[in-house]
Amino acid sequence: MNQIFKKHKGSSYKNASSVNKTIYGKQESMRNKVSSLSELEYAFSNLSITKRNIQAAKPIKFNPAIIKDFLKTTGYGFWCDKFSNSSYLHSFIYPLETHTQEFCNIKSLFTKKNKSCKVKRIEKIHNPYLLMQYKLKEKQVRRRYGNTREETVFHGTKKNNAGSICNFNFDWRLKGRHKFGHGVSFASTSSYATHYGDKSRNKIMFIVNVLISNQCLGNKKTIIPPLCYDTTTNEKEQVLVKYEDNTFYPAYIIHYEDVKPKWKRNRATKKTKMVV
């Protein structure tokens, strides 16, 4: 402040006084703004909120009759007799009998190009809520693309993930690697899917129904497929990556044993031996 009132050539005390008035005028306006803000904060702090001002959000009630009616129209009406009204949001797993035709079909599908694995048991997944979402998505996809087909693919995973997949379906956010796209990856053959899962010999694998319309090549930078495409693959079409939810439905769980012999090489002796 002393430098402002110091007299220099071409300046006068009159000019200094005008500067002084300008500075104090700005300070006064700032005080008025601060006081108005404090009054506003005080007013909001004393504001009383009544029940008339805020309406409580009503919880959405689940109606199992909607799923019943929809499953009857899609050819799955026989499920309605197996479940109660409170069971339509949960999954149920039933083991297939070895002498049934369904067990033989799934087993032959699994061992078609995979001779090194032995099937121990096959379980069928019943989840009416996920099935309804899958069937609704199928109608939507057919209207959008027209040429939509359903394929049976494989998904290898760890045993700890089986419960969440059966109840809530696959989640692309839990995937660690995105080699052919940022989505849920499936394999066209069971031999390719055996590379993913537990390191022990006893493993599990999901057989999944997937909706596919148009597919193109994908890579690790593919976040969503290009326009008019819904699926990405690799060059040999061994991997299918899906990006939209409810375009896949887990149908079966296969418990199998990897009987292929594993060899381990000793670096010191440079000899290989079979690991039991």
pLDDT per residue over 2-12, tens digit each?
444 444 444 44
CATH of range 90-262; options 3.40.50.620, 1.10.10.10, 3.90.228.10, 3.40.50.170: 3.90.228.10
Q: How many Cβ atoms are within 10 Å of 136's Cβ, its own excluded?
A: 13
Q: Give the span between the Cα atoms of 48 and 27, in whole angstroms.
A: 34
Tens digits of per-residue pLDDT, 202-234? 999 999 999 999 999 999 899 999 989 999 999
Choose the most confident range, by mean pLDDT, from 44-53, 162-171, 202-211, 253-262: 202-211
Q: Domain ranges for the chain, please list them.
A: 90-262
Whether the predicted pLDDT of 124 surpasses 60: yes
For a pLDDT cut of 90, what percent of the chain falls above it?
42
pLDDT band per the 50, 70, 90 thresholds, residue 141: very high
Q: What is the pLDDT of residue 13?
A: 45
Q: Please determine, for residue 189, whether its predicted confidence score (pLDDT) is greater than 90.
A: yes
d(CA 262, CA 72): 49
Least-confidence region, from 4-8, 14-18, 113-117, 157-161 = 4-8
Tokens 């390191």, residue located: 199
146: left (phi over 0), alpha (psi -120 to 50) or beta: left
As a whole number of angstroms, the distance between CA 183 and CA 218 comes to 11
Is residue 192 scored above 80 in pLDDT?
Answer: yes
Average pLDDT over residues 167-195: 87
177-to-160, 172, 196, 226 alpha-carbon distances in Å = 18, 10, 12, 20
Question: In the structure, what pLDDT confidence band is assigned to residue 109 with cuts at 50, 70 and 90?
Answer: very high
Distance of CA 274 to the CA centre of its chain: 39
Check residue 154 and give its pLDDT.
Answer: 97
* Range scoring the smallest mean pLDDT among 2-16, 53-67, 128-142, 204-218: 2-16
- How is the chain classified by DSSP, letter by letter? -HHHHS--TT--HHHHHHHHHHHHHHHHHHHHHHHHHHHHHHHHHTPPPPTTT-PPPPPPPP-HHHHHHHHHHTT-GGGGGTS-GGGTTS-EEEEPPTTSHHHHHHHHHHSSS-TTEEEEEEEEEE-HHHHHHHHHHHHHHHHHHS--EEEEEEEEE-GGGHHHHHHH---GGG-S--SS-SSEEEESSHHHHTTSS-SSSEEEEEEEEEEES-EEE--TT-SSPPTT--EEE-TTS-EEEE-STTSEEEEEEEEEEE-S-EEEEETTTTEEEEE-
Cβ neighbourhood burial of 167 (10 Å; 0-12, 13-18, 19+): middle
Averaged pLDDT, 62-86: 61
Does 263 or 111 have the greater pLDDT score?
A: 111
